[in-house]
């Protein structure tokens, strides 16, 4: 790879990281390796500043991405936070960890020197090691594989660190909405409930399932071209409006991608039609 190709490649990587940071609502700092032709870099989360956080060291080596966590010198408090957040929802973190492992060439997540998937920790955490390797076929595929890999890594590390919550928050707000109908000379103020959906969970869901509707099989890009690329609705199998309090959701088990038509039909009933019912509507027998 010559210098101009390398520069374009770095720009593409930066664009991918920027989109990922925006979708997860976090701030990332990226520092390239000193060599102009090296693709190695380090990423820091601004919400976890030095010397109390960690960095992700990213290395490209023979069509492999390797990511490894490196804690700062004074990150003991962060490790305590990792343990506290893990204990709040161990089944969710273990599910994310299994998904990341399944897609990796090499995967290590050790707590107290023991793989977390073989023996979930019950004692006080004194060490945390995280390393994984993902393979890509060619350089054109590398940014996409890196984006998917970073999302899997952040799905574990961000909730553990408390930077991103796994909860779907429900909060009451007073919305001052002026009615557009003024024939009778009145302005109407409405009170509504705001349901805050996690963009973090949406990205994890789509990273797992892709953008094809699970009910009808439609991929909007096949029908609408570029206008439909990377567009789909994410459906909560249990609607957020039916949650009486903030809830921790599993993005793989509790969310699915549906096209706008299937999503609208699902919500024609309370509770919504489930996935099998939607598929039955579309079967040749009906």
What CATH number is attached to the domain comprising 122? 3.30.1460
The residue segments making up the domain with residue 281 are 205-286
260 and 154 in a common domain: no
Check whether residue 92 and residue 152 sit in a common domain. Answer: yes
Indicate the pLDDT class of residue 197, thresholds 50, 70 and 90: low
Angle at 85 between CA 80 and CA 86, to 5 degrees: 95
Same-domain check for residues 253 and 126 = no
Closest by CA position to 283, among listed 212, 215, 214, 210: 215
Q: Which residue pairs from 34-37 have beta carbons closer than 8 angstroms and sit at least 24 positions apart in sequence?
A: 36/3, 36/6, 37/1, 37/3, 37/6
The answer, yes or no, to whether residue 169 has pLDDT greater than 90, is no
236 and 112 in one domain? no
Residue 200: inside a domain: no
Looking at the fold, whether 210 and 153 belong to one and the same domain comes out as no
Is residue 146 a contact partner of residue 16, using CB atoms and an 8 Å limit? Answer: yes
Number of domains in the chain: 2
Same domain, 40 and 102: yes
pLDDT tens digit string along 53-74? Answer: 999 999 998 899 999 999 999 9
Mean pLDDT, the chain, whole residue set: 84
Q: Take residue 85 and report the two structure tokens written for it.
A: 């957040």
Look at the pTM and tell me if it is higher than 0.75: yes
Question: Rounded mean pLDDT of 172-190?
Answer: 41
Same domain, 83 and 210: no
Residue 133 sits at the vertex; the CA angle it makes with 127 and 137, to the nearest 5 degrees, is: 170
Same domain for 151 and 26?
A: yes
Cα gap 148→118, rounded to integer Å: 24
Residues 146 and 51 in one domain: yes
Structural domain includes residue 58: yes
Q: Is residue 48 part of a domain?
A: yes
> Quick one: 215 and 139 in the same domain?
no
Is residue 226 domain-resident? yes
Compute the average pLDDT of residues 80-108. 92
Whole-number percent of the chain with pLDDT over 70:
82
Model confidence at 191: pLDDT above 90: no
Tokens of 190: 């409405």
Using alpha carbons, select from 159, 279, 150 the residue that is nearest to residue 207: 150
């Amino acid at each position: 790879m010559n210098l101009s190709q390398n520069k374009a490649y770095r720009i593409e990587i930066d664009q991918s990281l920027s989109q990922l940071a925006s979708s997860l609502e976090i701030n990332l700092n990226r520092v390239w390796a000193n060599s102009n032709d090296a693709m190695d870099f380090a990423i820091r989360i601004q919400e976890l500043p030095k010397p109390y956080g960690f960095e992700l060291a990213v290395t490209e080596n023979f069509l492999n991405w390797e990511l490894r966590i490196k804690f700062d010198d004074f990150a003991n408090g962060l490790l305590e936070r990792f343990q506290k957040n893990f204990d709040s929802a161990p089944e969710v973190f273990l599910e994310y960890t299994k998904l990341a492992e399944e897609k990796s060439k090499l995967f290590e997540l050790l707590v107290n020197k023991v793989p977390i998937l073989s023996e979930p920790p019950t004692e006080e955490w004194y060490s945390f090691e995280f390393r994984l390797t993902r393979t890509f076929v060619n350089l054109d595929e590398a940014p996409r594989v890196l984006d998917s890999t970073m999302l899997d890594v952040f799905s574990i590390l961000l909730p553990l660190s408390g930077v991103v919550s796994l909860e779907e928050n429900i909060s009451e707000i007073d919305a001052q909405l002026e009615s557009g109908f003024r024939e009778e000379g009145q302005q109407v103020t409405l009170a509504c409930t705001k349901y805050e959906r996690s963009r973090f969970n949406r990205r994890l869901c789509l990273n797992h399932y892709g953008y094809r509707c699970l009910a009808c099989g439609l991929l909007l890009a096949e029908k609408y071209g570029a206008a439909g690329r990377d567009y789909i609705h994410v459906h909560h199998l249990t609607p957020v409006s039916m949650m009486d309090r903030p809830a921790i959701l599993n993005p793989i088990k509790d969310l699915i991608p549906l096209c706008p038509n299937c999503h609208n039909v699902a919500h024609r009933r309370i509770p919504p039609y489930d996935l099998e019912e939607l598929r039955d509507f579309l079967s040749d027998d009906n």
